[in-house]
């Protein structure tokens, strides 16, 4: 059986890492379905920065039917369109690379976290996914975008559907693609209604800003606003949750680590960085297409071929990272692929880092004697956006 198949098998979800050594034996592998899988750090980084690699699925040789009703968001576009839309979005997120922009959200994040953890008092068992790791990022992204949180049950299921059907799957490819498009379309309709309302009566939120901004470089069309909002809403729902849950799981398995982090809260900064390397929420990036023949590590990827980047395998590549399978808080340099690289480097990275740092530190500080109830915990189905579905812990109290 090919190694990727073993990794995609739900039985491997709790520990896909044991297969990564075999996966990296060939840096570039041609799979039966014509996909090229890239598994080593250096090769992945080279391709992330190669303009001959496209993120636009419409360039696929065997283009699976593209739904004309869905305008691609900038994660699925190449420069210059990508850059124009990313820059217009960044305007409302704050200046590029300005940590003060997300820093201003710190008090709100801390308030939300405090309320979620206060709610655990008076009990002795909690599911840290449903009760903390999920609600926090959702509240933050809803507040930023200006999406009413009361509508959350409506789009939660749709966001899940879009990501669970994504990635280098095996069976029912067409059916999954149809399900993904249907969920994406419904989410778009919901956000189109909101965008129109914000265009008519702007508020101080990002959706209003995206609808009304007209600068020298122009603005976004409503379709562009909607696809951007879908992207941000999904990214805000499906990734940080896994970083927080993977983090608590890692710490609860290592009492020495938990103790160190409790004694020195500043260590949460390298800890979150190491989590992004060691237990990355995004394990594969599967949306790339070669625009030209590209020869890498002795293999030629032909123009039009789909390319999958095994980010999680790259971040544990012993050719790049010493003792990669150890969680090590004291790495002098931590270069990982947790947020991708090149022009599509994660837009939400500063936000996700800050959310994870705050909530993990508060959980570590406030939960008295937390213990895992099940190890491994049950996992969400996706091998691409990977994380526990539940993380049930017992504890002696909340301080
Ligand atoms: C892109 C990871 C949180 C918004 C990416 C990519 C990765 C990633 C690996 C690159 C995808 C590619 O190259 O095709 C993560 C992780 C997160 C996280 C691990 C949490 C721990 C967020 C949040 C937001 C966000 C909270 C929203 C505010 C985006 C956007 C892109 C992106 C808009 C596309 C950027 C572009 O195409 O230029 N993310 N992300 N992400 N992420 Fe995140």
How far apart CA 73 and CA 227 sit, in angstroms, is 5
| Contact between 121 and 387 (Cβ < 8 Å) | no
Q: What's the DSSP call for residue 377?
A: P
What the block records as the tokens of 316 is: 């544990």
| Contact between 160 and 153 (Cβ < 8 Å) | no
Kindly state the average pLDDT of the residues 371-379. Answer: 97
- Mutate which of 83, 239, 309, 356 for ligand 1? The one with the most ligand atoms within 8 Å of its CB, which is 239
Residue nearest to atom 42 of ligand 1 (CA): 346
Is residue 153 predicted with pLDDT exceeding 90?
no
Ligand 1 site, residue 39, Cβ cutoff 6 A? no
Is residue 164 predicted with pLDDT exceeding 80?
no
Report pLDDT digits (tens) over 265-303. 999 999 999 999 999 999 999 989 999 999 999 999 999
The 10 Å CB-count burial string (b at 16+, else e) for 62-73 is eeeeeeeebbbb
How far apart CA 47 and CA 25 sit, in angstroms, is 18
Which atom, in ligand 1's list, is nearest to the CA of 77? 37
Beta bridge partners of 393: 126, 372
Report pLDDT digits (tens) over 35-54. 999 999 999 999 999 999 99
Dihedral, 176, 178, 181, 187 alpha carbons, nearest 10: -80
Confidence at residue 64, expressed as pLDDT on a 0 to 100 scale: 57
CA distances from 135 to 97, 131, 162 (A): 26, 7, 19
Is residue 204 predicted with pLDDT exceeding 90?
no
Confidence of residue 62 (pLDDT cuts 50, 70, 90): low
Which atom, in ligand 1's list, is nearest to the CA of 341? 13
| Contact between 131 and 120 (Cβ < 8 Å) | yes
Which atom, in ligand 1's list, is nearest to the CA of 276? 19
Ligand 1 site, residue 309, Cβ cutoff 6 A? no
Kindly state the average pLDDT of the residues 134-154. Answer: 90
How far apart CA 240 and CA 132 sit, in angstroms, is 11
Q: How would DSSP label each residue in 76-136?
A: G--TTHHHHHHHHHHHTT-STT-HHHHHTTHHHHHHHHHHHHHTTTT-SEEEHIIIIITHH
Residue nearest to atom 36 of ligand 1 (CA): 344
Residue nearest to atom 28 of ligand 1 (CA): 348
Distance 1 CA to ligand 1 centre (A): 31
Three-state DSSP state, 43: helix
Beta bridge partners of 397: 368
H or E element in which residue 394 lies: strand 392-394
- According to CATH, the superfamily of the domain at 3-392 is Cytochrome P450 (1.10.630.10)
Three-state DSSP state, 1: coil
Between 42-51, 233-242, 389-398, the lowest mean confidence (pLDDT) is in: 233-242
Dihedral, 111, 117, 118, 122 alpha carbons, nearest 10: 180
What the block records as the tokens of 243 is: 């970083």
Dihedral, 156, 157, 161, 163 alpha carbons, nearest 10: 20
How far apart CA 177 and CA 166 sit, in angstroms, is 8
Closest CA to 260 of 324, 327, 325, 321: 327
For 328, list phi and psi in degrees, rounded to 5: -125, 110
Ligand 1 site, residue 89, Cβ cutoff 6 A? no
- Mutate which of 346, 385, 387 for ligand 1? The one with the most ligand atoms within 8 Å of its CB, which is 346
Report pLDDT digits (tens) over 307-338. 999 999 999 999 999 999 999 999 999 999 99
Closest CA to 260 of 353, 330, 335: 330
């Amino acid at each position: 059986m090919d190694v990727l198949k073993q990794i995609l098998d739900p039985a491997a979800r709790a520990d896909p890492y044991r297969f990564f050594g075999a996966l990296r034996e060939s840096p570039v592998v041609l799979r039966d379905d014509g996909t090229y899988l890239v598994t080593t750090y250096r090769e992945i980084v080279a391709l992330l920065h190669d303009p001959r690699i496209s993120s636009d699925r419409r360039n696929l040789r065997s283009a699976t039917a593209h739904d004309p009703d869905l305008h691609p968001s900038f994660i699925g576009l190449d420069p210059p369109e990508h850059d124009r839309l990313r820059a217009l979005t960044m305007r409302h997120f704050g200046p590029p690379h300005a940590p003060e922009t997300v820093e201003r959200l710190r008090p709100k994040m801390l308030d939300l976290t405090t309320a979620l953890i206060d709610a655990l008092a008076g009990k002795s068992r909690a599911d840290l996914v449903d009760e903390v790791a999920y609600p926090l990022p959702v509240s933050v992204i809803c507040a930023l975008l200006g999406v009413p949180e009361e509508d959350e049950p409506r789009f939660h299921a749709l966001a899940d559907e879009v990501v669970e059907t994504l990635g280098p799957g095996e069976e029912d490819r067409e059916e999954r693609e149809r399900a993904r498009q249907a969920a994406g379309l419904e989410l778009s309709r919901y956000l189109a209604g909101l965008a129109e309302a914000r265009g008519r009566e702007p508020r101080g939120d990002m959706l209003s800003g995206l609808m009304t901004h007209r600068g020298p470089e122009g603005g976004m069309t409503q379709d562009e606003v909607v696809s951007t909002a879908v992207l941000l809403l999904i990214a805000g729902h499906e990734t940080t949750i896994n970083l927080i849950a993977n983090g608590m799981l890692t710490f609860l398995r290592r009492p020495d680590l938990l103790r160190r982090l409790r004694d020195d809260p500043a260590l949460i900064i390298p800890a979150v960085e190491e989590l992004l390397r060691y237990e990355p929420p995004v394990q594969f990036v599967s949306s790339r297409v070669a625009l030209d023949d590209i020869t890498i590590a002795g293999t030629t990827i032909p123009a039009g071929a789909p390319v999958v980047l095994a980010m999680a395998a790259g971040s544990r590549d012993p050719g790049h990272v010493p003792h990669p399978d150890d969680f090590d808080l004291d790495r002098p340099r931590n270069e990982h692929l947790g947020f991708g690289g090149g022009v599509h480097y994660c837009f939400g990275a500063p936000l996700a880092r800050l959310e994870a740092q705050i909530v993990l530190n508060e959980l570590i500080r406030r939960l008295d004697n937390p213990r895992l109830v099940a190890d491994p915990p049950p996992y969400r189905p996706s091998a691409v956006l990977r994380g526990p579905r539940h993380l049930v812990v017992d504890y002696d109290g909340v301080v």
